[in-house]
Amino acid sequence: MAPLLRTSQQWVEKYRPRKVQDVAHQEEVVRTLVNTLETGNLPHLLFYGPPGTGKTTTALAIAHQLFGPELYKSRVLELNASDDRGISIVRTKIKDFAAVAVGSGISGYPCPPFKIIILDEADSMTEDAQNALRRTMETYSKVTRFCFICNYISRIIEPLASRCAKFRFKPLHEDIMLGRIQYICQEEGLDLDQEALSTLSRVSEGDLRRAITYLQSAARMYGSSISSGNIIGVSGIVPDDVLKRLVQACKSGEFDLAHTEVTEIIAEGHPVSQIFSQLFDYVIQSTEMSDEQKARVCERLAEADKCLIDGADEYLQLIDVASNTMRALSNVTQECTYF
């Protein structure tokens, strides 16, 4: 077996496909873009879809395939969420870059006579900043193409979205994910059994970036032989038995028991939002609970999750969910009063 290379390079970068043609599972997107690559006639683009499905990869690949390594720097501006993209940047940096005129290149690549501005994670831009982009987009459309990338298309303002050719990226199927993962395992000399592979695919929920990141963390921590438990260990998901004990305590109808479990979960430092997400999956799949019971638990879960996002206390939200689940399971009505 090949020795593990302890380089600091991220596998997500190392195994990023370099060509649009190599992006898996997004056939329509790839077909259309390969066509535009041949003609060099690119519209403004808007890529949207869940994380880790190849959006950034595709945008970078197009830019590289159009301009090649020599012209890339002068023709492509990449900005992502970690760059400041407020109004002032839109008015200065983006506008200045957009305004520069360019000719056709001569370097053996298509080199069409425009530049590309890639705005990754564009849904994190404020509406004001997006509005400020409208003018720039219109004014310099002869010499500049924009490529917006986002998870939620609804967060891109309509005037921008309507000027773009839109491409939806689909969540990756399990077999596609496993194919890529197995390829990486082979290249890196890792040994994962069937159970570990299926755990990895389950915990990454169609997000290939997440799967690759977990794999690399597990390889760093546990070496080349990785088990299902190792994957759970690096993924931050809560082990099944913790969740089972909580549900069991709720079923018992004894508040003290539930309280003990909640205290323990908090003491062990499990992220409560993760517990909520797993509890949700459990409830949905449960064959023992009635639809009404499920609805009651899920409604409170949603409220508690929102509270967490707003900064509420983890312990209080979890105890709230636990006691509500307990009442739902024992069919006590919501409005019951105890005294």
Query: Between 97 and 148, whose beta carbon lies closer to Mg ion?
Result: 148
Question: Which one of ligand ADP, Mg ion, none interacts with residue 12, CB within 5 to 8 A by kind?
Answer: ligand ADP
Separation between Cα atoms, residue 254 and residue 248, nearest integer Å: 10
110: partner contacted, choices Mg ion, ligand ADP, none (Cβ within 5-8 A by kind) = none
Residue 196, binding choice from ligand ADP, Mg ion, none, Cβ under 5 to 8 Å by partner class? none
Helix (H) or strand (E) holding 30: helix 27-39
Dist CA 48 CA 59 (whole Å): 11
Closer residue to Mg ion, CB minimum distance, 12 or 247: 12
Q: Which residues contact 14 (CB under 8 A, 6 or more apart)?
A: none
How far is 144 from 35, CA to CA, in rounded Å?
Answer: 19
CB of 151 to ligand ADP, least distance (A): 8
Rule CB under 5 A: say whether 204 interacts with Mg ion: no
Cα 149 to Cα 61: distance, rounded to the nearest angstrom:
14
User: Count residues contacting Mg ion (CB under 5 A)?
Assistant: 1
Instruction: Locate 63 and state its tokens.
Output: 């830019």
Least Å from the CB of residue 152 to ligand ADP = 13
Select 25 or 296, whichever has its Cβ closest to ligand ADP: 25
Give the 3-state secondary structure of residue 79: strand
Q: Residue 176 CB, nearest distance to Mg ion (Å)?
A: 17
Over the window 43 to 62, marking each residue x when it contacts Mg ion by CB under 5 A and - when it does not, the resulting string is -------------x------
- Specify the residue, 135 or 152, whose C-beta has the smaller distance to ligand ADP: 152
Nearer to ligand ADP, 56 or 130 (CB): 56
What letter would DSSP give residue 21?
A: G
- Between CA 96 and CA 99 the distance in angstroms is 5
Q: Least distance (Å) from ligand ADP to the CB of residue 268? A: 31
CB of 47 to Mg ion, least distance (A): 9
Q: Give the residue among 52, 318, 331 at the shortest CA–CA distance from 211.
A: 52
DSSP 115-158: EEEEETTGGGS-HHHHHHHHHHHHHTTTTEEEEEEES-GGGS-H
Please identify, using beta-carbon distances, which residue of 40 and 50 lies nearer to ligand ADP: 50
- Which residue ranges make up the site for Mg ion (CB under 5 A)? 56
